[in-house]
Structure 1
Amino acid sequence: MLNVKKGYIIAALTFFMSLSTSAQDATSEANNALAESSDALFILLGAIMILSMHAGFAFLEVGSVRKKNQVNALNKILCEWCFSTIAYLFIGYPLARGLNLVGSISEVNAANGIEYIRFFLFLGFAACIPAIISGGVAERAKFWTNSIAGIIFVAVIYPLIEGVTWGKFSDTLASSDGWLATQFGAPFHDFAGSAVVHGTGGWLALPAIMLLGARLKRYDKNSSIKVSSIPFLALGSWILIVGWFGFNVMSAGAIKDIQGLVAINSLLAMVGGTLTAMFISRNDAGFVHNGALAGLVAVCAGSDLYHPLGALAVGAIAGAIFVILFDIETNKWKIDDVLGVWPLHGVCGLWGGIAAGIFGLESLGGLGGVSFMSQLLVSVAIALVSFIASFIVYGLLKKTVGIRLSEQEERIGADLSVHHIEANPEEAL
């Protein structure tokens, strides 16, 4: 009888233990599902914020060009996003990340389809390349030729740079046991793309601007070429500023890795860039609104490392770089960079990559884990590779199909010559 009772007790204990294990398993599965869905939403929100930045690119250009080229500015940014999506989906993303998204859905759609959302996020970075270039070549570049160049950059050039810094080829440069870390004590670090995204875009733009040449009458003694709309320019800047917090903060890639430090550093760098540009330019509205962007470009690389005061300094230096170098570029060197994309993205992006190896050091209040030499070498290499690649691509296009509108097309404006409509058609009635 005693043995029977013991048997019942053991059976009951076993039953309750199995229930407890099942409950633990169910709780663990529920927690994993919640974490996966939270990460998917987090990355999706970042991707949407970066997508919104392209409206900022559009209106920044609309406000900076003459009225006869405003439709062209709007169409370029949207169409280039679409061209970039196709190029990056089929060629660029597999090259940079080693993942084919057009294969079997069942192989990619796990965990709330997070790989599709990651593609959306990284596409936002890649599509910045032609959007950056667009501002530099505005008002005189051929629509289709410039689009072809952008497709090449998004399909091949940018993914190679992305791949060796962030993607499947990054072991040598960005790994803690790679060559750079072995030689200089730390790998290359670019948290949100000062050098990788903005530096690449700005240095790809420079040869295009130089090979195109200046706009008609740009440097005539009595030139009347001016910004068309400060309100549109300011709107573009504000859209970019707001979207940039998705660009930087959501670069963490997972909600558990989100950092308030990145947010405050982005904010203070923007403030530093704005105020420095304001003082140096004597409160010029165009410089003020672009100074904010210069600070944000520069802070991307080390936004997860800086002491907030270090981020303020990085942004302030970037604001000064933009104002001073844009004046030298356009007035002394007579390089007609309409939106100043080379100093804004190219040079401030280069500065941002290098600055991470300075203000990210523990001795300057940063979190450490960076090397000045690693930052310098890779940032300069990105600039050189981008410049050379662009010179080859635009040089070949110039010799074969041409890259500039005809004099007559440029004179009447890209809106009528390319799109056959004015920005405000009712005014022509």
Structure 2
Amino acid sequence: MQVGMDVFFVLMGSAMVLAMHAGFAFLEVGTVRKKNQVNALVKIITDFAMSTMAYFFIGYSVAYGVNFFSSAAVLTGATDGDGVSFAKNGYDLVKFFFLLTFAAAIPAIISGGIAERARFRPQLLATAILVAFVYPSFEGMVWGTRLGFQDFVTSIAGAPFHDFAGSIVVHAVGGWLALGAVVMLGARMGRYRKDGHVVGIPPSNIPFLALGSWILVVGWFGFNVMSAQSVEGITGLVAINSLMAMAGGILASLVVGKNDPGFIHNGALAGLVAVCAGSDIMHPLGALVVGSVAGALFVWGFTQCQEKWKIDDVLGVWPLHGMCGLWGGIASGIFGLEALGGLGGVTFLGQLIGSVSGVVFALICGFLVYGGLKYTLGLRLDPEDEYRGADLSLHHISAYPEEDTHA
């Protein structure tokens, strides 16, 4: 009964995080221009399929040294293979499903940054490389035993690097990988004029953007709470901390973003990104502070990217996932301390080492992967196709074909 409950628990968590990919899709659909909405939808669903293949055949083994090339009887725990043992009721299979949904979030994050001008197949190849080799390498270091990373951090800092639900492993890694992709692609046509003027490109559909945010918010409680991966390990502290961080992110972005609906809906996500790492050890008031800082940080980071640094990150995935994820990893070493009402078991130095390691790893890999593809296959649509839009250029249909027929 206990094993069966754990299987069901993790399966429901997998389904909730799977649903978050619809949130990624509609957040991008609502932000990009109408001529690129179909491409946003197609990218997210095909990236998930490619991620499944890459993680099943290669990535999961890279991270944890486990493969699924045994009989179904062995995989479901009905019998042991030659030196291979799986948990009863197929628990390890739903665990793979759950962790796959995390792995597939990496290309989903990057998709928003490179929207409106990336070629389809090179981007899909990048997904395969990232989910098969890059992401699981760092995942295995933090959530597994690869390279003795956690032992190294413990020997220096006195405690291992703590990242309960992936502020660094998923979000910061995805966000800093995206920075390399965005820089390698360059800005969209007409975004920045030679005289320094920034041409505004407003979201195409605020209701779709809001829908995407809401889907992500709901799914996030599976992302965070069910990272316990067992019924016995579940705790309401993760749920309340996620809630408080989300609320703090919304209210901070409301104030700093001056009522802008895009900032407000992304502010909720910023708070949730930041609280992932320490959601199981912080006091709710600490989570509120972490989420509030993240909401303000996203607004500042997005504005700096677009207006000052001329980094055309369409959905602001580097500020949202990269910056706020980094903040969340470090913040766990502050608000997770017993002195500030947390449960302890972490150190500031350990969190700093782990967080910076993830950022440096992702930044280097992002430039290597996308730089390599840029100078071999090419990453960007040609100017005519970009002007027409990815929908017609790549998929030969627009988001509103009936309107095109009448026109």
TM-score, structure 1 as length reference: 0.90
**Could you say which residue in structure 1 is the equivalent of 2:96?**
119
Distance in 1 (alpha carbons) for counterparts of 2:95 and 2:16: 13
Q: Tell me which residue corresponds to 2:199.
A: 223
1:189 aligns with 2:162: yes
Is residue 98–residue 168 contact of structure 1 (8 Å, CA) maintained in 2? no
Structure 1 residue 171, shift from structure 2 partner = 4.7
Return the offset for 1:181. 1.9
1:146-203 per-residue CA deviation (whole Å, 9 max, x = no partner) reads 1111110100010000000002427541xxxx23223222110000000000000000
Whether 1:213 aligns to 2:198 is no
Matches within 5 A, 1:30-179: 34-110=1-77, 111-169=88-146, 171-173=148-150, 178-179=151-152
What amino acid maps onto 2:173 in structure 1?
A: T
Q: Which runs of 5+ in 1 are unaligned?
A: 1-33
CA shift at 1:222, angstroms? 7.9
Where do 4+ consecutive residues of structure 1 move more than 3 Å?
220-224
Distance 1:269 1:423 in 2: 35
- Equivalent residue letter for 1:118: K
| C-alpha deviation, 1:85, in angstroms | 0.1
Q: Which residue of 1 aligns with 2:277?
A: 301
Measured in 1, the distance between the counterparts of 2:229 and 2:146 equals 19
- Are the equivalent residues in 1 in contact too, given 2:191–2:198 (CA < 8 A)? no
Q: Return the offset for 1:102.
A: 3.0
Equivalent residue letter for 1:104 = S
1:258 corresponds in structure 2 to: 234
Any stretches of 5+ residues in structure 2 without a counterpart?
78-87
Deviation at 1:223, TM superposition (A): 3.2
Show the counterpart of 1:382.
358
* Among candidates 205, 218, 223, match of residue 242 of structure 1: 218
1:416, 1:95 → 2: CA distance? Answer: 38
Deviations 1:306-361 (A, max 9, x none): 00000000000000110001101110011000000001001111111101001000
Q: CA RMSD in A?
A: 1.0
Q: For each residue in 1:352-385, what CA deviation from the matched residue of structure 2 results, as whole angstroms up to 9, or x when unmatched?
A: 1101001000111101110111110111111111
Partner of 1:400, secondary structure, is: coil
Per-residue CA distance 1:229-260 (angstroms, 9 max, x = gap) = 00000000000000000000000010011000
The residue number in structure 2 matching 1:7 is: none
Residue 223 of structure 1 aligns to a residue whose secondary structure is coil
Aligned partners of 1:179, 1:405: CA distance in 2, in Å? 44
CA distance in 1, matches of 2:3, 2:395: 45
Higher helix share: 1
Partner of 1:4: none
The structure whose Rg is larger is 1
1:18-33, aligned counterparts within 5 Å? none
Look up the equivalent residue of 2:140 and give its one-letter code: G
Match of 2:317 among 334, 341, 345: 341
TM-score (norm 2): 0.95
1:43·1:121 contact (CA, 8 Å) conserved in 2? yes
**Identical counterparts, % of pairs:** 60
Aligned residues: 392
* CA drift at 1:99: 1.1
Question: Does the CA contact (< 8 Å) of 1:295 and 1:318 recur in 2?
Answer: yes
The CA distance in 2 between the partners of 1:120 and 1:331, in whole Å, is 40
Report if aligned partners of 2:153, 2:353 keep a CA contact under 8 Å in 1. Answer: no
2: CA distance, partners of 1:43 / 1:318: 28
8 Å Cα contact 1:357/1:373 also seen in 2: yes
